[in-house]
Structure 1
Amino acid sequence: MGRDAVAFVRGIIPSPDRERDDFYPTPPEGTVALLAVERFEGTIWEPACGDGAISRVLEAAGHEVISTDLIDRGYGRGGVDFLLDWQTSADNTITNPPFKHAEAFAEHALRRSRRKVALLCRLGWLEGQGRRRMFTGTPLARVWVFSSRLKMQRGRLAREGDGGGMVAFAWFVWEHGHQGAPRLGWLP
């Protein structure tokens, strides 16, 4: 593998096929689907809040939400590097993390949350020997698979006329105190 190819893989040189900073806002129906199958008690931290797509749905459902992001997109508190934040904590963490940092987000969220962690990730994220060790060594309780593809767009929410989703997604939910294998379920 050449030097430039390695740089793309490591995220040093942004790929022309990826949104800068991995900003793919979560369609509201994705968060609504999570709330239909999971109950969250207490505060919720959305550490990659972007333009507030997840936070707004959570707030509309009556949740107290702490919204932060490394990049200031006009919602929540910008300039906060979640992976270096050892001050903030919450009962729960719900986020759509930058894919290249999803595993680190999961591990850090488990340290900074007291109840649950829910990450929206590609379904294929289940694969890999390294992630298998992470999944079996953490209290992964449920994986909620979308039976229809979410319409995820680079840097913005999907609009009328945008094509269908290209990637299968799932909510990965950890629950402190959970023991045993995770349960698998489907979302409409």
Structure 2
Amino acid sequence: MSGLKRLAGRIGATLTDNPLQFHPTPPEVVRALLTVEARRLAAVLNGGPIWEPACGDGRLAAELRRAGFRTVESDISAPPSGTGLPLGPGQGSGPRRRARDLGGPAIQDFLSGARRAPVVVTNPPFGDDGAAFIRRGAALELHYMALLLPLGFFTAAEKSNRDRLFAALTPARIWPLGFRPDWTGQGNPVPMPLAWFVWDWTPGLSRQHGRDPERGPRGEPYARLYAPVRRT
């Protein structure tokens, strides 16, 4: 079987067994982002919280708090049963888990719910759902959004709508991961390179304010692609 067929089979099995694409984010993935974006995040937040709208079992948000940031968390559902993954201190297991920390129910669909904070850092579902997250972030008038996505997200074959999405909502910065994370900790790293895509729309602090991207000599929008960020 070719490598592409094996990859397609793995993706198909994943979507069948895990339709909400619950993939806990290893802490080193969050730390890699913070090595290059922590100072910017602090300036944008100005003391406010980071919203993690696809929080799963809370691992990404926990790493942000370990770095000194405040967080609010939500997700479309509780983590899937049978994952063997802990929810974390105080999260409980019912549909209103973490209600005390959030100031409201934690069960919320990012694609239709209200904005909880203007700054988002999350590991969203990939594919068309990832594109929907980008559009929703713009619709919610977020000031800053960092999404963990496949490095080739905007170059997916037969996805001309991704070209239009890139032109309309161009990220400011792309930070490739210099390593392949292992969602489960069982020695099975993800089969594709990933990157942190950052949209920086902060009023008064960003050249992207007003959604106007940086442009090349022919007027084409472009994102700044940086050297890979390493595991720390």
TM-score, with length taken from structure 2: 0.66
- Secondary structure in structure 1 of the residue aligned to 2:147: strand
For residues 20 and 52 of structure 2, the distance between their equivalents in structure 1, rounded to whole angstroms, comes to 16
Q: How does 1:1-188 map to 2 (within 5 A)?
A: 15-18=12-15, 19-38=18-37, 39-40=40-41, 41-42=44-45, 43-73=49-79, 74=87, 75=91, 76=98, 77-85=105-113, 87-100=114-127, 101-127=129-155, 128-153=159-184, 158-159=185-186, 162-176=187-201, 177-178=207-208, 179-180=213-214, 181-185=222-226, 186-188=228-230
SS of the equivalent of 2:56 reads coil
Conservation of the 8 A alpha-carbon contact between 2:149 and 2:197: yes
Whole-angstrom CA distance in 1 between matches of 2:150 and 2:142: 25
Q: Is the 8 A contact 1:88 1:112 kept in 2?
A: yes
1:63 Cα deviation after fit: 1.2
Question: Compared with structure 1, are the counterparts of its residues 44 and 135 closer, same or farther at alpha carbon in structure 2 (3 Å cutoff)?
Answer: same
User: How far apart, in 1, do the equivalents of 2:199 and 2:160 lie?
Assistant: 19
User: In structure 2, how many angstroms separate the alpha carbons of the residues matched to 1:24 and 1:50?
Assistant: 8
Deviations 1:104-134 (A, max 9, x none): 1111122325421110011121213211211
Aligned length: 169
Cα drift, residue 50 of structure 1: 0.1
CA contact (8 A) 1:69 1:80 kept: yes
Q: Can you give the 5+ residue segments of structure 1 that lack an aligned partner in the other structure? A: 1-13
- Alpha-carbon distance between aligned partners in 2 of 1:163 and 1:117, rounded to the nearest angstrom: 28
Aligned-pair distance for 1:56?
A: 0.4
Q: Which one has the largest radius of gyration? A: 2
SS in 2 for 1:84: coil
More strand by proportion, 1 or 2? 1
Q: Output the aligned Cα RMSD.
A: 2.1
Q: What is the DSSP-based 3-state SS (H/G/I as helix, E as strand, rest coil) of the residue aligned with 1:21?
A: coil
Q: Partners of 1:137 and 1:20 in 2: how far apart?
A: 28
1-structure distance, mates of 2:125, 2:152? 15
TM-score calculated relative to the size of structure 1 = 0.81
Which structure is higher in RCO with an 8 Å CA cutoff and minimum separation 6?
A: 1
The runs of 5 or more residues in structure 2 that have no matched partner are 1-10, 80-86, 92-97, 99-104, 202-206, 215-221
* TM-fit CA distance, 1:146: 1.1
- Identity %, equivalent residues: 33
